[in-house]
Amino acid sequence: MKTHLKTFAIAAVAAVSLGGLSVPASAAAHNDHRYERHHDRFDNRDRSFDRRIDGLEHRISQGRRSGALNRSEVNRLSSDLRDIKSLARRYERTGRGIDRQEASVLDRRINALEHRLMAELRDRRSYGYRR
């Protein structure tokens, strides 16, 4: 009889414990979902910048390998790209993502670097430099 009582008491305590946690857990999941949806807006913007930065890294590397960019051009462009990446990381560290003003700053800096890279690549082609 005591064994059944102990088993029942353990089951009751477990049911109350689990039942008490299930409501806040579902509420927390609901709140987390809303936060994630809100946060995804910024994550999408962050991923857009990440893709553009990755593309710049790839094009600089490709220009170096092909000889279209000389060492000083690669160093200058890579330094500017590191500055942009550092700025993006600093903006992302706030925990709220990148706001509109920060996105505008990053966008302008990435655009300027893209234009400089394209100009450097055009210069090499138009003058016929080869390594």
pLDDT tens per residue across span 38-96: 444 445 556 788 899 999 999 999 999 999 999 999 999 999 999 999 999 998 888 77
Q: What is the pLDDT of residue 35?
A: 42
Q: 77 exposed, middle or buried (CB, 10 Å; 0-12, 13-18, 19+)? A: buried
The whole-model pTM stands at 0.61
**Does position 26 have pLDDT exceeding 80, yes or no?**
no
* Distance of alpha carbon 51 from alpha carbon 62, whole angstroms: 16
Contact 130, 72 (CB under 8 A): no
End-to-end CA distance of the chain, in Å?
Answer: 92
Lookup: tokens for 28 = 């927390």
Of the candidates 77, 79, 13, 90, the one whose C-alpha atom is nearest the C-alpha of residue 49 is 90
